[in-house]
Amino acid sequence: MSSTTMTPMEGGFPQSLQPFPISGSDNRFALRKTRSRGKHLLVASVASLTAMCLLAVVIFHGYVAWMLAYPFVAPLASNPKAAIGVDYEDVIFPSKSGDTTVSGWFIPADAGTSQPAAGSARTVVFSHGYGANREEAWVPMYELSKMLHGLNYNILLFDYGYASKQYKAPATGGLEEAQQLLAAVDYAKSRGAEDIVVWGFSMGAGTALQAALQTDEIDAMILDSLFIPSPEALFDNLNQFIQLPRFSLPLIQSLIPLWTGKGFGSIPADEVISNVYDIPMFVMHGTKDVKAPYQTAEAVADGQGNILSRMWIVEEGEHEMLFRAHPGEYIQRAAVFLSQVDQQLQAEKA
């Protein structure tokens, strides 16, 4: 029986298992390849992070735009009968554009006055501010309604779309809101109104000016704490709640139409400020209004030509708090203005 002896190769490895020699150039190539792969991974990581940051920025500004379009508005807390003891009717009508639906309250004039309620041809249409509804407690709307009711005015209070719970619609800076206000004026006319006064607050006052550009059916306006929603004014108001960089403004403007279908760039802010309205206008504003500078209200008031138009700048007055600060004077000035407007309108008819 024979045996075979295995002889190890030089270096202790079989020839087939000898390590493959790596030259210096090959080693450098492998190192460069590893570095290149690392750079690509770094670039991809940075690109992904950048894309995520940009997406986060867009989502954040989209949320801000959505909040502007759909502000939180508290639900109605009462009604004219419970709050001030006057009868009222629930009313519903389409906006002038037909794109939205408006709901509100119609309060007939006081039947206890010398003129019967059915014969009253004077109506005040209230135009509430942004973020509020037809009650707008801090103005306060019920107390003003009670005063007007005693003066034999019909009263129409309604919710803009962004304040409505049943007929929700986005805020559009007065574009669609003006169509809702025009429909309210038409409704007042359908109920026998010959003389219509629009009493607006904050952005509701700015909306009244936008509506007055489109109709001759408004006979006078009272504008309290006038806010004209230009893109810059909206941005300044946003910065009171959250500090945003300047590049946020065009980004929010570009995203607003996603929620509203309308761009804030379409708001005729310059025309509203420069237009000469041929109707009596009572502009009241406070010097400490941080939401709407009183200089804008002055610019609007100074440009008016009707002999009854006037301005009341309240020292230390705050936004929509003029009645709260000076209730007696506020009521007196408003009542005198309404009386003079009524006299002028009756004289024109005669």
What CATH number is attached to the domain comprising 273?
3.40.50.1820
Stretch 188-194: mean pLDDT = 97
Helix locations, 70-170, DSSP H: 80-84, 141-150
The position carrying tokens 């504008």 is: 223
* Local confidence band at 292 (pLDDT 50, 70, 90 cut-offs): very high
Q: What is the pLDDT of residues 305-346, one digit of tens each?
A: 899 999 999 999 999 999 999 999 999 999 999 999 999 999
Q: Is residue 125 part of a domain?
A: yes
Stretch 173-192: mean pLDDT = 97
- pTM of structure: 0.85
Which residues on neighbouring strands pair with residue 197, listed in sequence order? Answer: 124, 220
pLDDT of 261 strictly over 70:
yes
pLDDT of 34 strictly over 50:
yes
Per the model's pLDDT, the better-predicted residue between 283 and 350 turns out to be 283
Stretch 175-192: mean pLDDT = 97
End-to-end CA distance of the chain: 146
Query: What burial letters (b/e) apply to 111-132, b meaning 16+ CB within 10 Å?
Result: eeeeeebeebbbbbbbbbbbeb
What is the spatial distance between Cα 122 and Cα 109, in angstroms, rounded to a whole number?
Answer: 8
**CA dihedral angle for residue 145, residue 76, residue 229, residue 92, rounded to 10 degrees:** -80
Say how many C-beta atoms besides its own lie within 10 A of residue 263's C-beta.
15
pLDDT of 255 strictly over 70:
yes
Q: Is residue 94 part of a domain?
A: yes
Strands 281-286, 310-314: pairing is parallel
Per the model's pLDDT, the better-predicted residue between 298 and 47 turns out to be 298
| Domain that includes residue 136, residue range | 80-230+267-349
What is the spatial distance between Cα 322 and Cα 292, in angstroms, rounded to a whole number?
Answer: 14
pLDDT at 238: 80
Q: Is residue 28 part of a domain?
A: no
Return the ∠ at Cα 104 (arms to 98 and 108), rounded to 5°. 120
Stretch 215-244: mean pLDDT = 88
Stretch 209-236: mean pLDDT = 93
Q: Single out the residue of 211, 246, 236 nearest to residue 293, CA to CA.
A: 236
pLDDT of 13 strictly over 50:
no
pLDDT at 106: 98
Average pLDDT score over the chain: 88
pLDDT at 30: 62
Per the model's pLDDT, the better-predicted residue between 103 and 235 turns out to be 103
Q: Is residue 157 part of a domain?
A: yes
* Local confidence band at 102 (pLDDT 50, 70, 90 cut-offs): very high
* Burial of 29 per CB tally in 10 Å (0-12, 13-18, 19+): exposed
Rg from Cα positions in the chain = 34
* Local confidence band at 296 (pLDDT 50, 70, 90 cut-offs): very high
pLDDT at 32: 66
pLDDT at 10: 46
Return the ∠ at Cα 131 (arms to 333 and 81), rounded to 5°. 65
Which residues on neighbouring strands pair with residue 93, listed in sequence order? Answer: 102
Stretch 36-48: mean pLDDT = 80
pLDDT of 45 strictly over 70:
yes
* Burial of 270 per CB tally in 10 Å (0-12, 13-18, 19+): exposed
Q: Which amino acid is at 317?
A: G
Per the model's pLDDT, the better-predicted residue between 250 and 126 turns out to be 126
pLDDT at 25: 60
DSSP 174: T
| SS3 category, 122 | strand
Least confident of 59-73, 146-160, 209-223: 59-73
* Local confidence band at 19 (pLDDT 50, 70, 90 cut-offs): low
pLDDT at 116: 43
pLDDT at 115: 46
Stretch 162-185: mean pLDDT = 96
Q: Is residue 8 part of a domain?
A: no
Q: Distances from the Cα of 83 to the Cαs of 143, 241, 316, in angstroms?
A: 9, 32, 30
What is the number of domains present in the chain? 1
Q: Is residue 50 part of a domain?
A: no
Q: Is residue 293 part of a domain?
A: yes
Q: Is residue 286 part of a domain?
A: yes
